[in-house]
Amino acid sequence: MNAAQKEHAPQSNTWRKAFAGTVAGISAAAQWVDTIAADRQLPEQLVFALQVCLEELLSNIVRHGGSESSGGLSRGAIPPVNVEITISLSNQGISMAVEDDGKPFDIASAPAHRIDQPLNAVEPGGLGIQLIRNFASTIAYERAGLGNRVVVEFLL
């Protein structure tokens, strides 16, 4: 099976694709997931939840995953980390595994923050983790695959 077939194999319930850990890579991954969702006619709310988690996981990797991360999304990590995403469909729902070879970071154990202070005291950090925990049914982290491996599940 060549790369194109592996990316989007007919009748397959599993898709896997590599992306660069860059802003352009995040957009490409979102479009790839939309293509799968349209092909399988997945429910809109489930696709939205999947996209929220994908976006937050990848933006975290781009901002913080590199050994020489600039801390800014305009440049991202230097050099960009490598990312691989696996989407699996089952009767129970959708599973999405995001692997990267950046710095070790257990996002499943990291603190989440909801805005709960006056506006002048708000520092909007940790909101992405808050969103992942609320939009995914489960989240798990392990050191596996490329290095970091996060699996989020969305139950039907």
Binding region for other proteins (CB under 8 A): 23, 26-27, 30, 44-45, 48, 51-52, 55-56, 58-59, 62, 73-74, 114-116, 118-120, 122, 124, 127-128, 130-131, 134-135
Report in angstroms how near the CB of residue 5 gets to other proteins at its nearest.
Answer: 29
Name the residue nearer to other proteins (CB basis): 10 or 124.
124
Least spacing, CB of residue 75 vs other proteins, in Å: 11
107-116 contacts: CB < 8 A, separation 24 or more? Answer: 107/57, 107/60, 107/132, 107/139, 107/141, 107/148, 107/150, 108/139, 108/140, 108/141, 108/150, 109/141
Q: Which is nearer to other proteins, 48 or 79 (CB)?
A: 48
Q: How far is the CB of 6 from other proteins (least distance, A)?
A: 26
Q: Are 26 and 90 in contact (CB under 8 A)?
A: no
Structural tokens at position 50: 């999947």
- Minimum CB separation of residue 15 from other proteins in Å reads 21
Which residues 6+ apart lie within 8 Å of 75 measured at CB? none
